[in-house]
Structure formats: structure tokens, C-alpha cells
Structure 1
Amino acid sequence: MSPMTEVEGRKLALSNLEKVLYPATGTTKGELLHYVATTAGALLPHVHDRPMSFLRFPDGPQGETFFAKNPPPGRPAWVKTVEVSRSEGVAARQVLVADLPSLMWAANLVVEFHVPQWRAESPGVADRMVFDLDPGEPATAAECCEVALWLRDRLAADGLGAWVKTSGSKGLHVLVPVEPTPSDRVSAYAKAIAVEAEAKLPELVVHRMARALRKGRVFVDFSQNSAAKTTAAPYTVRARSEPTVSTPLTWEEVGTGKTDAGSLVFRLDDVTRRLERHGDLLAPLLDLNLARGLPSRAGSGA
């Protein structure tokens, strides 16, 4: 029988706590849940009011993985859902992880947390923009750092601020708070910036997904700005060989990462220590008083 625990007045059955999910590090499911509970104060605000998708890996990254948008079976009645529009206008429901009990319920399923760039009350109207920097071998996170720094300066020319985190996998995510803007306009702007990046840095950047083009270069993926797409949330643990985390960075660390890509790999324990030292480096993205630009001027800052 699964042990019961109470989280903010909600009863939860937490299962298989001794199960080793990451054989490379011996990390158990209990340790994963402890990490989520410990970092919830930072993680929750970044997913709050955003329809949640889950990449599930219940037997660890070496087992079966599958992406789930529909609310999982057995969802407690107190876990909120919201109606969303899928392709061709078909309505469906997705989970809203709005509080700690909902977060721990979802974490017990063993998941990566993925969210769109818009909030539930404004479907398809983005309040942030993302560039997913994905290195094609033999390129690494070091090359991603070069591209991220170029993007930061280019976006600043259009009056846009930028923050950065590791993807928790091989690359980086550059995050940009924006004035509420329809996702298709944000996507068009992001694509224009990616095309410009390739024109300015042709040996380093590619803006198209074709793998044949990506060897040794960084794919600047702008597609996650589509209203239908999602991005791995800050602080989520990834289904990789080790329990690496999508971790906020300082721009100074990005500068260092140009020559030391290994310095940008963070696991569970690293992130809890970083939060104690830095707090949430992405907190400005949540500041409603932060000056936000309008992503509609691609080409003007060149």
C-alpha cells in the first residue's frame, strides 16, 4: 500500500519511494519528490495558470517515456483543469498545477513539466517568448552560450530583456518577457530573429530543423512560441541519463560557459544549493511591473 501524506490539507498517496529512477546516480523516486517539494516555491510561479503537459517516465529515463496532455487517470477532484483548444478547434482539458498539493500529485507520476508561453485566462496570447538553443554534435552548450549572448544583445536593440536557463538536456533556453501579444506574432518575430542570427553567424547558427544542416551548429528553435507548443519549465528534472535540471543561469555564467560547457550541468542537489545562494534568477519574468517590450520590430535593431 502506498504511504499517505498530507500536503496543505490534501491527502496524497506517494508510491514506490525507494524505486531507483536514475541508475547512473542511484537517485530514487523519493529523492526526486523531495527535490520537487524543496524547490516548489521557485517552480510553482513559473507554471501557475499555464496548462500543463507532462513527459512521463515512470520507470526512469531508460524505460518507456510518453508525452501526455490530457489529465492522467486517477486525477483527484481538487487538481484543477482548464479547457484548451487543440488543432482544428477541438476542445480538450489540461491540468493546471496551481498549488503544492497539485505539484506533488503530478511529481508522483514521475514527469517533466512542460508549459506554453501563454496563460489560461488568455489562450494563445503570449506573455513571454522563448528561443530553444539546441547544439548539433560536435557543437555543445559552449556554442549555445555564444548564440545566447548574441541573442541577448540583439533583443536589447529592440528594447527586449532576456533571461536564460539550461534546458536540462544539451542546450539553453533564452526567455523574454513580452507585452501580451498573439502567439502567431511572437512566432513571426522569433523566426525573423533566428533567420537574422543565421545570416550574422552562418558558421554557428541554423534556423531550420533539418538534422543535415545542424552538424556542428546551434539550431535556434523559435517554434515553441506557437500557441500549440510547450517548453520544459524552469526547475523541472529531465528524463536524461542523470537527474539534470532546467536551471536558471546568470549571464556571467553564460560567458564562462563559452569555454567550459561542463560548468552548465546541474543536478538536483546543485539546484537546491543555487536557490539558497541566488534565489530564483528568473524571478524578474514574474514581475508584472517589469517593463516589457512588444516583439514586432524584427530587423530594426540590426
Structure 2
Amino acid sequence: MPLELTANPLLSERTTLRLGGPAVVEAVVRETADLDELSAFLTRETLPPFVLGAGSNLLAGDGPLELALVHIADCPGPERVERDGEAIIIRCGAGLRLPGLLGWAQKAGFSGLEGMTGIPGTVGGAVAMNAGSYGVEIGDLVTRIRVWSPAGGLVWLDRSQCAFDYRHFSPVKMPGKCLVWEVELALGESDPKSVRRAMHGVYEKKKKTQPVTAWTAGCVFKNPPEESAGRLLDKAGMKGVRLGHMAFSDIHANFLVNLGGGNAADALELMDMGRARVFEQFGITLEPEVIVL
């Protein structure tokens, strides 16, 4: 079956911030057989490719975007693979939504992911950004990752062949960019009710401190060493600051919120404003955590 292609896919329909104009094309990969077609597509396509998960960490521009989107769908798993000492090794495809993985782990009585409750992205996106929350980073749980590149095909990488930093993942000694295809994680065993209680506790805390039901892209800026970007933005007076239909959340200053009908130009101006105020008052340069397209 030919690779599924969509012309002029709207980023506003594919991102949690609900912003972004049309890319040129989107290629949807559903199974390993599609990867050969994807390789041919990327060879003949002159546009830069961008792998798009659930769009939960993106701020896309308002106008046309000269990009070829690559989206993984209908991925396998999750499934239990084996026991390694006291750990249970589970495997899932990169296109699986994190809430789906957490729900499956809870019902199975597997612990370790509870701190990531409320993160709306995909497993692949979480690995690519080394997503973390409430003391948990997904890189700490990874045992193996299966990645794909046009030159190297599908390859399993052990944890020792992966470099995880703050909101960043890269394969060690592997040239060029790659696509995360499958992930194996080491989880603990627990009572399903205990896991559910822990997940509920995390979600309740997030509801009180983060705009979990709003249109956002997650945290806008990375936390500086030994500091909190949200605290700095709050002290700089950015909490609740609005421009057009975009605003810094009045719950957490490090979240940009689309109030409905917002645009990327106003979002970027608010980011510049927040960065400038923090630098003026504290001498700290905030680095974006959100990916700007």
C-alpha cells in the first residue's frame, strides 16, 4: 500500500496550542512496511522533514510552513516483554499516546510513570524531548530504543547508546537524525489501586498549579539551573499578561494559553516580552522549551 500522504495539513489542527498554518505535506506511517516508502519519500522530497507526534510541545507559525510532516500512527503495544530482576520490561510503539500508556500501566499494576500523569504527548515525543514531570524523566526508565533512519534502517539501541539530557535525547555515535519507532521501559510492580491513587494525586496537584484543560503547549521555557522559569516569569510580572487572544496563564506563568482565536505572532511577542523582563530583573536568559516552527 502506498504511503498515506495529505496535502497542506494544518498545524492548528495538529498541535495542542491550536496554532499554525499549513505545511506542504504530511506522511503517515502506520507499520514497518511503510518505512521503505518513507525512505523513498524523503529521498525525493526537497523539503525539510519534521516528525510530529501529538503536537504538545510546538508553537507553529501562522503562515505556510515549508515542511514535510512525518506522523506515526497505529503503533503496536504496549505489552509486557520480560522480567529483569525486580523490574518489568514493557514495550510500546512511539505513536502511542502517553495517557494511553499510563492507563495501561495502571491497570496492569506497573509503577514508575505516575509523575508523567497529565502529559498529553506521545511516547516517541516524550523520548525525543526526554519529557519529565514531578521527579520522573522518561529517559531514566528507558532500557532500549528502536530508531529508524533512511541510511541505517531500524536499529535497536541499548540504554548505554542513548544520551539523555534536560529535555533532549540523542543516539550516541549515530550520524544524522533518526525517528523513534519503539521504546522499552523498566517499570516496577505495584497494586493497581496504589498506582491509580498516585496518578490521581499528581493530576490533582497539576490541576491546582497548571492550566491542564486549556490550549497550551506545556512549559514555554526550560528551567535554568537551580531555578524555576515559572517563578522568574511570575516575579517579572508576566503571569496573566495578555496580547490579543494569547496570554501567559494566570495559574502558572510558564504556560502560554490560546484563549481562542490566538495567533503565533502574539505568542512569540509574549515570549520575547517574558524573556526580556526576566533578563532585565534577574540577569538570566531563558531558553525555549517549546519548539518553534
Q: TM-score, normalised by structure 2?
A: 0.31
Q: Highest relative contact order (Cα 8 Å, sep 6+), 1 or 2?
A: 1
Structure (1 or 2) with the greater helix fraction? 1
